Amino acid sequence: VVERVTSALCGGPDKPARFRSASKPAPPPRRVVRPVSRADELLSDELFLCQLFKYFSPAERRTLAQVCTRWREVLYRSPRYWTGLVPVVRCKELKCQAERARLFASFVRRGFHSLALLAAADEDAIDLVHTYPLSGKHIHSLSLRCSSITDRGLETLLDHLQGLYELELAGCNEVTEAGLWSCLTPRIVSLTLSDCINVADEAIGAVAQLLPSLYEFSLQAYHVTDASLGFFSPKQSASLSILRLQSCWEITNHGVVNIVHSLPNLTVLSLSGCSKVTDDGVELIAENLQKLRSLDLSWCSRITDAALEYIACDLNMLEELTLDRCVHITDIGIGYISTMLSLSALFLRWCSQVRDFGIQHLCGMRNLQILSLAGCPLLTSSGLSSLIQLRHLQELELTNCPGASSELFEYLREHLPRCLVIE
């Protein structure tokens, strides 16, 4: 079959090529590839393997690289096979310097630009600088998780990683606010601080003063107050687009005032777990942050239907709204939301007062693509079955819904064949 196709396109001994001009010289003979005769030869053939590996995800290729040396060589040779993966170095389990050197060399071969260090100490930071010198230019994103690294170790790392522009510190309890003042560099555009017990208002001051190009800031800290949000200035208003304040329990409506005045260009805002924010705070957001495309108010237990009316009236560009565990929301609030033509993703997990009548409102949202009603206890099979009217729905989550039965799931999958229904 291959010979016939080749003969038809390139010309054989009996027939000239279809597209060959009579005036042009004959092309040079094609390189003859020796046919693979056995399965084991095929599974070692580089051309075949390059095609085979395209059918697997980057995560699956991690396992394939352990099959044999030949497969590892082929996979390590091309960085495109590893796009989207972040290597995690478990520092306590990797004490041998020779092993670390081999591991870091494999990172270079695979073209990794992100790195996560788990349980790192200052010694690990110093070792990284000496054992992985190319990280200075190659690593653009660094995550330190559950680490005992101190201000000195953090400063060593950030001085070395001159190409770094994304930084995450999670569970780094030895890093202090003074350390952030001395370490943070203006090239950082994305910063995440979570579960670091020494992070409080002064840390936010360091972020606001030292990172003029900051685009994304995620913060989870129990002791941050409204005053810290006053540190942001017009310097950040042009660049800061994504702000996530998660489980910042001391933030109130006064903090929201500081946000809307200092950062009017936000497109993504999360106040998840900021339980002191009320409807008045949401009204401020709706009136002043007109560019918002994503708003997360999950676990804001004081939010009521009035807040949803503000959102529906003013946030005309909003595409994603998360209201998980907002237990005071009723069908009236759902009715307000249903008028939002721009909304494509809506999350109502564990909204315990939403009933079938609210579902009827949702059925009019023709642009809705993602909907979660997980854990809503008052919804019945009859109400949920009406969701088949949402023809553009791509994902529907109904886990822990007492009204959802196996018959309902079968009915939904039959009438929404393009939708992923999560039981």
Q: Do the beta carbons of residue 253 and residue 277 sit within 8 Å?
A: yes
For every residue of 17-74, DSSP letters joined together read -TT--TTSPPPPPPPPPPPP-SHHHHTT-HHHHHHHGGGS-HHHHHHHTTT-HHHHHH
Task: Return all residues near 293 (Cβ < 8 A) that are at least 6 apart.
Answer: 267, 268, 317, 318, 319, 320
Tokens representing residue 296 in the block: 């997360």
**H or E element at residue 378:** none
Crossing angle, helix 151-160 and helix 122-131, to 10 degrees? 20
The CATH homologous superfamily of the domain defined by 87-224: Ribonuclease Inhibitor (3.80.10.10)
Q: Do the beta carbons of residue 412 and residue 419 sit within 8 Å?
A: yes
Model confidence pLDDT, tens digit, residues 45-79: 899 999 999 999 999 999 999 999 999 999 998 89
Q: Which of 362, 369, 304, 302 is nearest to 337 (CA)?
A: 362
Strands (E), 221-368: 242-245, 268-270, 294-296, 320-322, 345-347
Q: Which residues are paired to 118 by β-bridges?
A: 90, 145
The whole model's pTM is what? 0.87
Q: What is the pLDDT along the chain (423 residues), one digit of tens a residue?
A: 334 323 433 444 444 444 444 455 666 666 555 565 577 788 888 999 999 999 999 999 999 999 999 999 999 988 999 999 999 999 998 878 888 999 999 999 999 999 999 999 999 999 999 999 999 999 999 999 999 999 999 999 999 999 999 999 999 999 999 999 999 999 999 999 999 999 999 999 999 999 999 999 999 999 999 999 999 987 788 899 999 999 999 999 999 999 999 999 999 999 999 999 999 999 999 999 999 999 999 999 999 999 999 999 999 999 999 999 999 999 999 999 999 999 999 999 999 999 999 999 999 999 999 999 999 999 999 999 999 999 999 999 999 999 999 999 999 999 999 999 999
